[in-house]
Amino acid sequence: MKNQHSFCQIWIFLILMGCFISGFSQSPVMKFGKVGIADLKMTKYEIDTSAPAVVLFDKGKTTFTYNQEKGFQLNYERHVRVKILKKSGYDNATFKINLYQKDDNSEKITALKGRTYNLVDGKIVEDKLSDNAVFNEQRDKNHKITTFTMPNIREGSVFEVKYEIASDFLFNLQDWSFQYSIPAKWSEYETTIPEFFVYYQFAKGYIPFFINESDSKSASIVLTYKDRTVGRVTKTDYYNETVNFFNKYFHWVCKDVPAFIEEPYMTASDNFISKIEFELAYTQFPQQPRKLYTTTWEGITKNLLDDKDFGGQLEKGHLVKDQVAFINATAKSSEEKMSMAYDYVKNNVRWNNKYLIYTSDNLRTVLNNKTGNVAEINLLLILLLNELGFNADPVVLSTRENGMLYPTHPSLTKLNYLICRVVFNGNEYLLDATDPMLPFNMLPLRCMNGQGRLINKNNPQWVDLLRNEKYISMQNAQVTISENGEISCTLENSGSGYTALEVKSNYKKEGKEAFTKKRKEKLKDWEIDEISFESMDSTKNSYKEKYVMNNQEIAIASSNMIYLNVLLNLGDKENPFKLEKREYPVDFGCPLKDTYLFTYQIPDNYVVELLPQNARVSLPDDAGFFNFNIITNENKIVVTSQLSINNHMFVPTDYPNLKEFFNMVISKYAEQIVLKKKA
């Protein structure tokens, strides 16, 4: 009997794929051990004279190899050469290479070599990276780290490192970043991929390619097949077969790349760093059907729904039958059922801070252990809601820290979070049960990242994650000024939306005592007679803090004048945007609204000598406005100040406006009221 040939089973590569040589004259000489004297003599990098170090070149290459036992393997090679210019660049000479292993599959580092070059008395002195200076740390069961640092690094050193990583994880073709924390003269990546593997590629960032080319070349390989005949005598026959196929070759180079520097109010740096990423779309071996991994969002949907750790979990209704019975018996309306289900999951399963779209434990274990990852918690919620008769579906997304999800680029690996969507009576509700402080139908800020994908076989669609929520805060003060400049004040701070969520989460995390202490620290100029908090423990989406306090320090009282900050120094004092220019967008997460309402009672024998002027400032395109109003009536002064940012995102060209806008706001907050004694 002849076994069926299986390409993946028993065959041997006899001839490896031919290699491609690209002959670009501009490319630096990248031969290990050949370091130019000019690089050693270089004392600064002309394009960025402030650079503490510069990548002279960094070249990566991924090819496929075949191994009798393992089948296909990825082989990744990297060769990097760096010039050290200043002591602050020394850290670049330390490498931590993370390697993953799972079951019998692993990533292994091989052929590691390194060399440092120094110019001593005009001569090049070389130092090798020795084997005993390379450490292999078994981090835990699945993670290994190879660490080393280059020898004899000084100001002026050049070093180079070369290594290969053989990987069994075909779905994880190494990404390549063309941008570093230091500038790079040359960053290059090439991949040679047999036609059996199709990866979807995604380039991002702001740096244009200097070379971006691809090629397709036929290659032929001779395979040795092994056939076994099983009968009374087992007999093995070998024979050769030539297989013709194409290798797809891709080649990218970025030249003179500036250093990547993080900026405040930025989402994941991963969104902006110049990079090329891969996602295994499908494999297709000869005489075999195409095996899809991810190509389309429809494919991803199917893939997820078929997975036992995703869709499979939604078929386990029996796990929650007690809760279903209880809710059905207790709730008076459908709305109440929905919120009872939400509260049940929120209060009975604690999030272990793991971001995953698959369950790691089955839901029964999750219910027993009372902890779970994001997927476990929200799939449990979906299961419960469906059992109660609602239409609940998972929505998968990428969190802010994880980077942007682009609808045009289907990607399974980019997804790291899962929430629940319910449609009821024509209304859409988005629920996340990972945070007990979250009110019903509000998402945590980490989810505010574009759109999420609804995972439903019949009705796949995009769901906007940014809803109507804002940061909303209000300070309301009733102030009495005495003749000697003493101020007594009743201050009410309140907030809703994300402001309330943040404040209440802190309150819960820190406990009342520590929270109160921090609040007092913020108001350290004041003598506080009374503090009270409202709605801090409830999931109502608002809170209130009330302070009764007085102060002799804030007003400056001279013989017949009193000078006083218009917001009693309680307004924001610093512009969050201090840098001159901005390379990447500003992202607040969601819109915000800050209001101050201060009412002053001035001493009877004083008159208002001077008030700050009213102001109204807007950002272009209604992206934000600031409205500052002050009126006086007999011995009362009323200050109303409102700051609204309506857009959550500002591109770098908006930055000067935004910065100036905040400068105006902050300086308005710093203005003075002047009172004068009646003659």
Partner 1 sequence: MQKYIFGILLLITAAGKVLAGDIKYPFFSIKPEMLAHADVVVRLEEVQFEILSANKAVMKVHQVITIINEKAKNQASLVLGYDRDCKINYIKGYVYNQFGMETDRVKSSDIKDRSWVSGYSLYEDGRCKQVIINTLEYPVTVEYEYELEYSNRPSYPQWQPLSNYNVSAEESSFSVICNDKNTFRYKEKNLQQPVEIVQKDKKQIYTWKAKNLTAQVAEALAPEIDEFTPTVFTSAASISYEDFNSNFTSWEDLAKWRLYLIKDRQELPAETQAKIKELVRNIPEEKDKIKAIYEYLQSHTRYVGIQIGIGGWQPFPAEYVDKYGYGDCKALVNYTLALLKIVGIDSYYTLVNAGKYASDIPSDFPCETFNHIILCVPCKKDTIWLECTSQTAPFGFQGNFTDDRNVLVVNPAGSKLVRTHAYSLKENLLTRTATVDINQSFTADAKVYSNYHGLKYEKVEELLEMTIEEQKRELAKTIDLTGFEIYNVAYQKKKDIIPWAGEELFLHIPRYASSSGNRLFIPLNLMDKQTYIPEKLENRTRDILFHRYECDIDTIVYLIPLGYQPEHIPDNIHLKSVFGEYSAQTFFKDGKVVYIRSNALFKGRYPASAYNDLIDFCKKVAKADREKAVFIKQ
Site for partner 1 in 618-647 (CB under 8 A): none
Instruction: Kindly state the smallest distance separating residue 484's Cβ from partner 1, in Å.
Output: 14
CA–CA distances in Å: residue 336 to residues 88, 343, 377, 416: 60, 10, 20, 30
CA distance 297 to 397: 12
Strands (E), 103-196: 105-120, 123-128, 134-138, 143-149, 158-167, 176-177, 184-194
The span from the first CA to the last CA of the chain, in angstroms, equals 118
Tokens of 130: 């020795």
Q: Which stretch binds partner 1 (CB under 8 A): 133-141, 237-245, 314-322, 424-432?
A: 133-141
- Between 261 and 638, CB nearer to partner 1: 261
Dig out the tokens for 579 from the structure: 């840098």
Asked if 525 is part of the footprint of partner 1 (rule: CB under 8 A), the reply reads yes
524 binds partner 1 (CB under 8 A): yes
Q: Which is nearer to partner 1, 144 or 414 (CB)?
A: 144
DSSP per-residue codes, 38-78: HHHH--S-TT-TT-SEEEEEEEEEEEEEEETTTEEEEEEEE
> Using an 8 Å Cβ cutoff, are 403 and 341 in contact?
no
- The interface region with partner 1, picked from 71-79, 447-455, 499-507, 520-528 by CB under 8 A, is 520-528
Q: Which of 4-12, 344-352, 385-393, 472-480 is the region at the interface with partner 1 (rule: CB under 8 A)?
A: 344-352
Count of residues that bind partner 1 according to CB under 8 A: 71
Dist CA 220 CA 462 (whole Å): 44
Report the C-alpha gap between 143 and 156 in whole angstroms.
35
Smallest distance from partner 1 to CB 14, Å: 42
Shortest gap between Cβ of 603 and partner 1 (angstroms)? 18
Smallest distance from partner 1 to CB 509, Å = 7
Question: Shortest approach of partner 1 to residue 448 CB, angstroms?
Answer: 25
* Least distance in angstroms from the C-beta of 552 to partner 1: 8
Residue 50 CB, shortest distance to partner 1, in Å, is 3
Nearer to partner 1, 34 or 524 (CB): 524
Give the binding range for partner 1 (CB under 8 A) out of 421-429, 589-597, 646-654, 661-669.
Answer: 661-669
Determine which residue in the list 11, 52, 384, 399 makes contact with partner 1, applying CB under 8 A: 52
DSSP 360-409: SS-HHHHHHHTEE-HHHHHHHHHHHHHHTT-EEEEEEE--GGG----TTS
141 binds partner 1 (CB under 8 A): yes
CB of 671 to partner 1, least distance (A): 5
How far is it, in rounded angstroms, from Cα 204 to Cα 211? 15
The CB-of-376 to partner 1 minimum distance in angstroms stands at 12
Q: Is 509 in the site for partner 1 (CB under 8 A)?
A: yes
The minimum distance between CB 135 and partner 1, in angstroms, equals 4
Q: Nearest approach, Cβ of 322 to partner 1 (angstroms)? A: 18
Distances from the Cα of 126 to the Cαs of 35, 115, 123, in angstroms? 10, 7, 10
**8 Å CB contact between 319 and 363:** yes
Of 182-211, which residues contact partner 1 (CB under 8 A)?
Answer: none
510 binds partner 1 (CB under 8 A): yes
Candidate ranges 33-41, 148-156, 403-411, 486-494; the one touching partner 1 (CB under 8 A): 148-156
Strand order in the sheet with 427-431: 427-431, 417-424, 391-397, 451-454, 461-464
Site residues for partner 1, 596-615, by CB under 8 A, read 610-613
Among the listed residues 5, 508, 519, 544, the single contact to partner 1 using CB under 8 A: 508
| C-alpha Rg value of the chain to the nearest Å | 32
Q: Between 18 and 576, whose beta carbon lies closer to partner 1?
A: 576
Contact of 463 with 423, CB cutoff 8 Å:
no
Nearer to partner 1, 151 or 205 (CB): 151
* Least distance to partner 1, CB of residue 138, Å: 6
Map the footprint of partner 1 across residues 77-96, applying CB under 8 A. Answer: 86-88, 90, 94
Q: Which is nearer to partner 1, 353 or 425 (CB)?
A: 353
**Helices marked H in 469-614:** 497-522
Q: Rounded to the nearest whole angstrom, what is the least distance from the CB of residue 580 to partner 1 in the complex?
A: 6
Phi-psi region of 287 (alpha: psi -120 to 50; beta: other; left: phi over 0): left
Can you state the percent helix, strand and coil of the chain, rounding each to 5?
20, 40, 40
Binds partner 1 (CB under 8 A): choice among 36, 108, 113, 155: 155
Query: In the numeric block, which tokens belong to residue 182?
Result: 């230091």
Candidates 75, 101, 106, 149: give the one binding partner 1 (CB under 8 A). 149
Residue from 127, 164, 309, 534 that binds partner 1 (CB under 8 A)? 127
- Residue 467 binding partner 1, by CB under 8 A: no
Q: Among 16, 19, 37, 135, which residue sits at the site for partner 1 (rule: CB under 8 A)?
A: 135
User: For 508-663, where are the E strands, in sequence order?
Assistant: 527-534, 542-551, 556-557, 561-565, 586-587, 592-601, 606-610, 615-619, 624-633, 636-645, 649-650
Give the shortest CB-597-to-partner 1 separation in angstroms. Answer: 20
Is residue 352 near partner 1 by the rule CB under 8 A?
yes
Q: What 3-state class would DSSP assign to 582?
A: coil
Footprint on residues 356-395 left by partner 1 (CB under 8 A)? 369-371
Selected range binding partner 1 among 486-494, 518-526, 529-537, 595-603, rule: CB under 8 A: 518-526
Q: 174-177 long-range CB contacts below 8 Å, 24 or more apart?
A: 174/60, 174/62, 174/74, 174/76, 174/278, 175/275, 175/276, 175/277, 175/278, 176/60, 176/252, 176/275, 176/276, 177/273, 177/274, 177/275
With CB under 8 A as the contact rule, the residue among 6, 43, 50, 110 that binds partner 1 is 50
What part of residues 251-290 is at the interface with partner 1 (CB under 8 A)?
Answer: 261
Restricted to residues 565-594, the positions that interact with partner 1 (CB under 8 A) are 573-575, 578-580
Q: Which of 106, 147, 535, 635 binds partner 1 (CB under 8 A)?
A: 147
